[in-house]
Amino acid sequence: MLKLTQLGEIFTAVYGISLEYNKMIEAKNGIPFVSRTSKNNGVVGYVERVADIRPNPAMTISLSASGSVMESFLQEEEYYSGRDLYYLKPCTKLSKNQMLYYCMILRANKYRYSYGRQANKTLDTIKIPVPDSIPNYVNRTQFTPPSNQAISKNKMTLADREWRKFKYSDLFKISGTKTTTLDDLNIYGKGKYPYVTTQSVENGVEGFFNHTTENGNVICIDSAVKGYCSYQITDFTASDHVEKLEISMQSLNQYVAMFLVTLANREQYRYSYGRKRSHERLRNEYIKLPVDKENKPDWKFMEEYIKSLPYSSNLVAIGKEDRRS
Per-residue model confidence (pLDDT) at position 90: 97
Angle ∠(42,46,48) on CA atoms, nearest 5? 135
Residue 37 has pLDDT above 60, yes or no: yes
Go through 36-71 and write b for each residue having 16 or more CB atoms within 10 A of its CB, e for each that does not.
Answer: bbeeebbbeebbeeeeeeebbeeebbbbbbbbebbb
Q: Please, are residues 86 and 15 in contact by the beta-carbon 8 Å criterion?
A: yes
Per-residue model confidence (pLDDT) at position 28: 82
Q: What is the pLDDT of residues 231-240, one digit of tens each?
A: 999 999 999 9
Lowest mean pLDDT among 22-36, 245-259, 295-309: 245-259
Residue 248's pLDDT band, with cuts at 50, 70 and 90, is confident
DSSP one-letter code for 75? E
Percent of the chain with pLDDT over 70: 95
Per-residue model confidence (pLDDT) at position 53: 95
Q: What is the pLDDT of residues 172-224, one digit of tens each?
A: 999 999 999 999 999 999 999 999 999 988 899 999 999 999 999 999 999 99
- What's the average model confidence in pLDDT over 297-315? 92
- What's the average model confidence in pLDDT over 71-79? 96
Spell out the residues 6+ positions from residue 181 whose beta carbon is closer than 8 angstroms to its own.
Answer: 239
Task: Quote the pTM value.
Answer: 0.65
Residue 250's pLDDT band, with cuts at 50, 70 and 90, is confident
Instruction: Report d(CA 137, CA 304) in Å as an integer.
Output: 40
- Average pLDDT score over the chain: 90
Per-residue model confidence (pLDDT) at position 291: 96
Per-residue model confidence (pLDDT) at position 139: 82
Residue 75 has pLDDT above 90, yes or no: yes
Residue 318 has pLDDT above 70, yes or no: no
Residue 323 has pLDDT above 50, yes or no: no
Instruction: Report d(CA 215, CA 196) in Å as an integer.
Output: 12
All domains in the chain, ordered by first residue: 4-140 (3.90.220.20), 158-324 (3.90.220.20)
Residue 317 has pLDDT above 80, yes or no: no
Q: What is the pLDDT of residues 106-151, one digit of tens each?
A: 998 888 886 566 777 889 999 999 999 998 888 887 777 777 788 9
Instruction: Report d(CA 287, CA 256) in Å as an integer.
Output: 14
Q: Please, are residues 208 and 190 in contact by the beta-carbon 8 Å criterion?
A: yes
Residue 249's pLDDT band, with cuts at 50, 70 and 90, is low
Per-residue model confidence (pLDDT) at position 261: 96
Residue 228 has pLDDT above 70, yes or no: yes
